């Protein structure tokens, strides 16, 4: 289902359902042996849940097709489509099945509704009308890294930890073989200074994209001064955007958009010397895989979503709206400015600001 339509239905119809369900008495709960975690959407945020999900035992994760591969090798997953009929079927099949549900979604009403029906104990954030459906609520701290905010959801279960590092995505030997074959066919050796560049972002808030002419200048510099091999990564949807950057370059590069599965992308990123990315999923993959990472920020702030143990470049202070992305409030707008000021905060990051960090 279209992302905008899902959010529209969730905001208006989902809010009404939460209001009605919130009037009902809460069930009593006891043991918490059988736990369901819910994380339905972003790949980056799914990666940031892994440290928290590494704590309790017997956890199953409810996901969508989009993010299921993040949990490969860590947790059993159940895949659900974000359409009304599959959601209703899932609820009917799993009514009161779980001792506890941990809802990692920051603002979606549908995840709270699912929690209400399938879990006796329900843990989620304390803001919004959806909070009426939980038995335990935790304050969303928007001044700290999101991985820690996810970890905070375990406090009602008696778990209090500080997140010091992310968990790497897992991949199999045959996936590594696919990546190595691809690199070899593009004349990339193990000793090359391989730099992966993620130009695209998800469907929402396209203003997070650093100007493509800056990406082109940066890539040219890396090839000329560092003898780097540049590989542009991303989903199939990023192929055209990557082409636009390559058309502005004087040097050669590789457009690998859509070439790899998520585990293969993780393997490729681990193989790289450096990853430079907008605020997007590949940035968090790089941080999780232990690859040196530079993240570019404007509409969002690194304090919440920067690459853990990586470097963030943020110059959004000039913009009166930054941070205009507040995921926990459901605020994921495109840039409030138009015309020459569109992407004002991202345009404020110069190529030199990035090269000085390399």
pLDDT at 169 over 80: yes
Render pLDDT for 321-338 as a digit per residue (tens, 0 to 9).
989 999 999 999 999 998
3-157 and 173-355 in the same fold: yes
Query: Residue range 145-154: average pLDDT?
Result: 98
Q: How many CB atoms lie within 10 A of CB 167?
A: 18
pLDDT band of residue 29 (cuts 50, 70, 90) is confident
Q: What percent of the chain has pLDDT over 70?
A: 99
> Does the structural domain 173-355 have CATH classification 3.90.79.10?
no
pLDDT band of residue 356 (cuts 50, 70, 90) is very high
pLDDT at 145 over 80: yes
Residue 93 dihedral angles phi and psi, to the nearest 5°:
-75, -30
Query: Residue range 183-211: average pLDDT?
Result: 96
Containing 125, the helix (H) or strand (E) segment is strand 119-125
The answer to which of 29-43, 146-160, 282-296, 343-357 has the lowest mean pLDDT is: 29-43
pLDDT at 93 over 90: yes
Q: What is the pTM of this model?
A: 0.95
pLDDT at 1 over 90: no
> Does the structural domain 3-157 have CATH classification 3.40.50.2000?
yes
Mean pLDDT of all residues belonging to the chain = 95
Q: pLDDT at position 25, please?
A: 86
Query: Residue range 294-308: average pLDDT?
Result: 97
Query: Residue range 236-253: average pLDDT?
Result: 96
Q: Where are the domains of the chain?
A: 3-157, 173-355
């Amino acid at each position: 289902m279209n992302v905008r339509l899902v959010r529209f239905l969730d905001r208006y119809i989902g809010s009404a359902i939460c209001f009605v369900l919130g009037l009902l008495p809460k069930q009593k709960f006891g043991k918490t042996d059988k736990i369901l975690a819910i994380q339905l959407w972003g790949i980056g945020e799914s990666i940031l849940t892994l440290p928290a999900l590494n704590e309790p035992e017997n956890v199953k994760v409810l996901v969508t097709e989009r993010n299921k591969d993040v949990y490969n090798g860590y947790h059993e997953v159940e895949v659900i489509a974000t359409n009304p009929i599959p959601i209703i079927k899932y609820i009917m099949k799993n009514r009161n099945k779980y001792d506890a549900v941990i809802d990692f979604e920051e603002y979606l009403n549908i995840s709270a509704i699912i929690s209400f029906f399938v879990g006796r104990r329900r843990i989620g954030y304390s803001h919004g009308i959806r909070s009426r459906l939980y038995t335990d609520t935790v304050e969303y701290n928007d001044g700290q890294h999101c991985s820690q905010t996810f970890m905070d959801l375990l406090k009602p279960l008696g778990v209090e930890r500080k997140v010091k590092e992310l968990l790497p995505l897992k991949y199999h030997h045959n996936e590594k073989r696919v990546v190595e074959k691809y690199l070899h066919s593009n004349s990339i050796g193990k000793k090359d200074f391989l730099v992966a560049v993620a130009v695209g972002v998800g469907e929402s808030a396209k203003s997070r994209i650093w100007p493509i002419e800056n990406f082109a200048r940066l890539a040219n510099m890396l090839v000329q001064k560092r003898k780097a091999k540049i590989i542009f990564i991303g989903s199939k949807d990023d192929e055209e955007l990557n082409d636009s950057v390559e058309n502005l370059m004087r040097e050669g590069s590789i457009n690998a958009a859509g070439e790899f599965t998520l585990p293969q992308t993780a393997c490729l990123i681990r193989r790289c010397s450096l990853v430079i990315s907008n605020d997007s999923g590949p940035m968090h993959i790089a941080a999780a895989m232990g690859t040196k990472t530079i993240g570019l920020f404007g509409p969002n702030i690194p304090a919440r979503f920067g690459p853990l143990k990586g470097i963030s470049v943020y110059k959004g202070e000039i913009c009166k709206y930054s941070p205009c992305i507040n995921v926990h409030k459901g605020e994921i707008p495109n840039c409030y400015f138009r015309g020459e000021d569109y992407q004002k905060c991202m345009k404020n990051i110069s190529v030199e600001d990035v090269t000085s960090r390399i």
